[in-house]
Amino acid sequence: MMLLSCPHCGPRDESEFTCGGTTHIVRPPPDSSDAQWGAYLFFRDNPKGVLRERWRHTYGCGQWFNVARHTVTHEVLSVYAMTEAPP
């Protein structure tokens, strides 16, 4: 069981959380090409290594937050607010 630290509630079991996938996705301008829209909608970083993703403490405070996590070890390297720049 992964232990995630909600910035609001502290360390809780992974089963209290929902993963929202890759974070820091920037919406392209309205006049973007099909390729840019496709990239925005469907193409995600899928590193075998550190991934920055968003999680929600669904069965707790309900807050969204960002996590930098290693996709092989599942080690959580940092937890930071939704509006913060990646560390």
Partner 1 sequence: MIVGGGGHGLAAAYYLAKNHGIRNVAVLERGWLGGGNTGRNTTVVRSNYLYPESARLYDFSLRLYEQLTHELNFNVMLSQRGHVMLAHSRHDLETQSRWVNTLRMHGVDSVLLTRAEVGALVPALDLSPAARFPVLGGLRQPRAGIARHDAVAWGYARAASALGVDIIQDCEVTGFAFGAGGAVSGVATRRGPIRAGRVGIAAAGHSSVLAGLAGVRLPVTSYALQAMVTEPLKPRLDTVVISPATGVYVSQSDKGEMVIGGSLDLFASYAQRGSFAVMQSVIAGTLEMFPSFSRLKLMRQWAGIVDVVHDSSPIIGPTPVPGLYINCGWGTGGFKAIPVGGWTLAHVLATGRSHELAEPFQLERFITGRLIDEAAAAGIAH
What are the residues binding partner 1 (CB under 8 A)?
A: 1-2, 13-15, 18-19, 21, 34-35, 37-39, 41-44, 46-48, 51, 53, 69, 71-74
> Closest separation between CB of residue 42 and partner 1, Å?
4
State how far the alpha carbon of 54 is from the alpha carbons of 25, 26, 31, in Å: 11, 14, 27
Nearest residue (CB) to partner 1, 33 versus 83? 33
> Closest separation between CB of residue 66 and partner 1, Å?
13
> Closest separation between CB of residue 44 and partner 1, Å?
6
Nearest residue (CB) to partner 1, 38 versus 62? 38
Nearest residue (CB) to partner 1, 73 versus 83? 73
Q: How far apart are alpha carbons 46 and 48 in whole angstroms?
A: 7
Q: How far apart are alpha carbons 49 and 5 in whole angstroms?
A: 20
Q: How wide is the angle at C-alpha 79 spanned by C-alphas 55 and 77, nearest 5°?
A: 110
State how far the alpha carbon of 85 is from the alpha carbons of 12, 14, 81, in Å: 24, 24, 8
